[in-house]
Structure 1
Amino acid sequence: MNLKEQITKIAEGHLSDENHFLVDVVISTGKGFKKVLVLLDGDQGVTIDDCADLSRAVGNELEEKDLIEEAFRLEVSSPGIDYPLQSIRQYRKNIDRSIKVIPNEGKEIKGILKSADETKIVVDQEVKKGKKTEYKEVEIPMSEINKTIVQISFK
């Protein structure tokens, strides 16, 4: 098991309830130290206390097991708004929100996420007709999605 898999297993072991889930673990090398970023999300969002609790628990276990020999910095955060959706839970959490889907091939699709399952998502795609915007329902197979980003509206 590599370091990312070990940290993922540790973090998942410290999730206090089923409302929270791990999105990703990113390990990078900075100036003289490793940076370990644990991304946490929740069905009802994530608080600073949720991140702090998980950070303490994961940090303590990493120190106890001495998994990282050199100096490292651990960060636990919720994924930013520009971070692509990774799991079916994240898609479901964002139903009825505006998204941008970048497919493996073809033009990007903007619209409202209507549903999501393990095989596909359904989007009400924005179609401009002059000054008017109409919507048409589009099914996009998960296998054809490169990334999906939630769009912020300031209207």
Structure 2
Amino acid sequence: MLTNKEIKQLIWEKADNVASKLGLEIFDILIKGSNKNKILEVVIDKADGYVSIGDCERFSKAFDPWLDEIDLFDKSYELVVSSPGLDRKLRGKADYERFKGKLAKFILKGKETKHPVVIGYIDEILEDQIKITEKDSGKLFNIDLNEIDKANLEIEL
């Protein structure tokens, strides 16, 4: 019997192969639920835009037969294919570059930080810093990349 980590790795490899053939990429894979009600969530992404319902459907139709054939789970499972969402997690320098000019929320490490949360527009990405223009004040922040605990896009209304 494979561990969840091994199952996830196996799924990631196959999902990545299927996704690349469809012009998509894998953002995350989550295995949730109990043994009786297992949920496999595959989060897909698109480098040149946003993921549509059609993208999720195409991926699901291409990927599901392999899952049924390989039979990784003891009991039945539910496959959920989704996008990272409009408020997607930003996972590092490549994402900051990709979403340059977009509104994002940065939660910084350390309790002594003068501004533990910065919401602003991604202006520039340097070697070890990111420049953010705060949404409300217009103040420019230079944030060390290693000081970012979490970051995600913010939905602009």
Percent of aligned positions with the same letter in both sequences?
24
Please list the CA deviations of residues 29-83 of structure 1 after superposition, one character each: whole Å capped at 9, or x if unmatched: 1583110111111121112121111112221111111112211000111012344
Report the 3-state secondary structure (helix = DSSP H, G, I; strand = E; otherwise coil) of the residue aligned with 1:15. Answer: helix
1:83–1:5 CA distance, 2 compared to 1 (3 A): same
Compared with structure 1, are the counterparts of its residues 2 and 54 closer, same or farther at alpha carbon in structure 2 (3 Å cutoff)? same
Structure 1 or 2: more strand by fraction: 1
Are positions 1:100 and 2:105 aligned together? yes
Matched, 1:122 2:130: yes
Structure 2 residue aligned with 1:138: 142
Structure 1 contact 127–136 (Cα < 8 Å) conserved: no
Of 59, 63, 74 in structure 1, the residue corresponding to residue 79 of structure 2 is 74
Q: Do residues 54 (structure 1) and 63 (structure 2) align?
A: no
Give 5+ residue unaligned stretches, structure 1: none
Between Structure 1 and Structure 2, which shows a larger proportion of helix residues? 2
> Partner amino acid for 1:4?
K
User: 1:29: which partner in 2?
Assistant: 33
* Equivalent position amino acid for 1:3 in 2: I
User: Structure 1 residue 113 and structure 2 residue 88: aligned?
Assistant: no
| Equivalent position of 1:2 in the other structure | 6
- Do structure 1's residue 150 and structure 2's residue 150 form an aligned pair? no
1:40 aligned counterpart, secondary structure: strand
Taking the aligned partners of 1:39 and 1:46, their CA distance within structure 2 comes to 10
Q: Partner of 2:31: helix, strand, or coil?
A: strand
How many residues are treated as equivalent by the alignment?
148
Aligned-residue RMSD, C-alpha: 2.5
- Provide the TM-score with structure 2 as the length reference: 0.80
Shift in CA distance, 91/42, structure 1 to aligned 2, threshold 3 Å:
farther
Who is 2:16 aligned against?
12
- Cα shift at 1:135: 2.5
